[in-house]
Structure 1
Amino acid sequence: MFNFSKPLDLPPQLQWKYANEPELMTWTIRARNYNTFIANAMFWVCFIAITAGSIFLYRSTKEYLVFNAISTLLFFIIVNAALISMTHQRMNFAYRFTRSGIECCEWKDFPKWALTFLKWFSGIAAIIFIYLATIDPTFLIGALIGPGSMGLMYLSMAHSKTYQQMQTQHHHLVYEWKDFTQLAIATNREVVDLKFCHFDPRLGRIVKWNLNIFCKRKQKEAVANFIKPYLSPDVPFIKAKVNVPMSTD
């Protein structure tokens, strides 16, 4: 039995189907379950644009240098924080192998840390601007634009159930060993890829797709070699570049 990491507690919405069977292998991992090349390229293009915009914003005003520096810094931090939250999202994955097959629980909970960050950051920024307003009343405008807008963002995120539901996902995937038609060690990601073909009772039809098993770089060989004996003898075992599509289950 392999335990690559300390298991995370599954959220109450997810339960193992074969919990009564002894586990052969299990681990949990947080991974980016999408095309990271495109996401990273998007991040760097936007980061360069934001940096250039921040420099232009700072240099465009000759008066009130302290106010200009603080507002520029707030702009840079807020926009880049939003950018990273979009391009570097991670999903929680828990894998459990038994004699019956492979189970994968994947979930993403609403990031409550973001609410805490927004609340404290907007509060501290508001105090700074109010203090600066005692020196120059113009800073009250900055308090309304900067911390004020962050406060409104915090309130909308904290009280919008629709937004929170969009940021929350729970999936439970179950496969029998006989379902798999190809085993591959990915050369471009920390992934063991399994093609499968099985009847999906939810869709009411045969589904052919692939299961990406995320793991650490040094674990790929061990995971693939462990899986191989449980597959049919005619199932191909290869090394190849694989696609990592966003889960749509």
Structure 2
Amino acid sequence: MFKSNKDLELPPQLKWKFSHEPELLGWTIRARNYNTFVANGMLLFMAVLNVGAAFIMYSVYAGMSQPWRTLSCVFFYTLMLFVTLSMTHQRTKFAYRFSRSGIECCEWKDFPEWALTFLKWLAGITAIFFVFMATIDPSFLLGALIGPGGIGLTYLSMAYSKSYREMHTQYHHLIHEWKDFTQLAIATNREVVDLKYSTTLEGDDFVTNWNINIFCKRKQKEKVAELIRPFLSPGVPFIKAKVNVPLSTD
């Protein structure tokens, strides 16, 4: 009925089940599928720790000239804050497809290879800078060990840690038939349409009651909800309420 620009392509790991049916609605979006309050709290906590680390670094650099001493600590803090932000506020990619059979949601999160490339080049550039400055002020040799060395260790821990890669990589394909939904809600606190469902999952012998958050683009959640409503079973509640996005969907 209406379509948004599809700026994301499905990865090869994910395929539409009802691709043989006409698409009623489909779009892709990048969203944070977790509790942003908790993520903001984690970022604040790590920012405070980084301030402490920067002060320790400042005391270690006592022999360095004041301007470069301050600049090195500010650079270190900014870098660590950037790395922390990339871990606590990473966005997940979503693709939605509505058909006569139901709703399909593909969600995926690729490992941020760009961050590794950035850290590798940054470590090399800063090492060259500190070595060059050490020809003027020998105290910069200590900075070359702590600054670029710390960046290099961060790069190695991210690049070769299997658990870290798994934490930042996921591929999920969710399929729900219209008859399974038991409540439709328009979120008042986020750009989300929330659908509660009750179904027996494949391989289970019990009924699962849960919900699916459909992340919408700005000012589209009302239109999405109105399209969904006619496909639901008679008597399914349609409400507006505050929606609690889970701590994590991993």
Fold in common (TM above 0.5): yes
Share of identical aligned residues, percent?
Answer: 61
- Select between 97-106 and 84-93 the one with higher mean Cα deviation: 84-93
- Select between 51-60 and 167-176 the one with higher mean Cα deviation: 51-60
Query: Match of 2:117, SS?
Result: helix
Structure 1 156/54 Cα, relative in aligned 2: closer, same or farther at 3 Å? closer
The corresponding residue for 1:179 is 180
Structure 1 contact 101–175 (Cα < 8 Å) conserved: yes
The corresponding residue for 1:26 is 26
C-alpha distance after superposition, 1:188-223 (max 9, x if no partner): 111000000011114443210000000123001000
C-alpha distance after superposition, 1:145-167 (max 9, x if no partner): 11022123223322334432221
Q: Unmatched 5+ residue regions in structure 2?
A: none
The corresponding residue for 2:117 is 116
User: Alpha-carbon deviation of 1:137?
Assistant: 2.0
The corresponding residue for 1:148 is 149
- Select between 98-107 and 144-153 the one with higher mean Cα deviation: 144-153
Structure 1 183/101 Cα, relative in aligned 2: closer, same or farther at 3 Å? same
RMSD between aligned residues: 2.2
User: Alpha-carbon deviation of 1:57?
Assistant: 5.5
Taking the aligned partners of 1:224 and 1:83, their CA distance within structure 2 comes to: 35
Q: Unmatched 5+ residue regions in structure 1?
A: none
The corresponding residue for 2:221 is 220
- Select between 127-136 and 102-111 the one with higher mean Cα deviation: 127-136
- Select between 174-183 and 121-130 the one with higher mean Cα deviation: 121-130
- Select between 74-83 and 214-223 the one with higher mean Cα deviation: 74-83
Taking the aligned partners of 1:175 and 1:161, their CA distance within structure 2 comes to: 32
Structure 1 97/86 Cα, relative in aligned 2: closer, same or farther at 3 Å? same
Taking the aligned partners of 1:77 and 1:55, their CA distance within structure 2 comes to: 13
The corresponding residue for 2:132 is 131
Taking the aligned partners of 1:150 and 1:240, their CA distance within structure 2 comes to: 45
Normalising by the residue count of structure 2, what TM-score does the alignment of the two structures yield?
0.91
Structure 1 contact 7–94 (Cα < 8 Å) conserved: no
Structure 2 contact 127–148 (Cα < 8 Å) conserved: yes
Structure 1 91/204 Cα, relative in aligned 2: closer, same or farther at 3 Å? farther
Instruction: Report how many residues are paired.
Output: 249
Normalising by the residue count of structure 1, what TM-score does the alignment of the two structures yield?
0.91
The corresponding residue for 1:4 is 4
Pairwise mapping of residues 1-249 of structure 1 onto structure 2 (< 5 A)?
Answer: 1-44=1-44, 46-47=46-47, 50-51=50-51, 54=54, 58=58, 61=62, 63-246=64-247, 248=249
User: Alpha-carbon deviation of 1:47?
Assistant: 3.4
User: Alpha-carbon deviation of 1:14?
Assistant: 0.6
Residue identity opposite 2:93 in structure 1: N
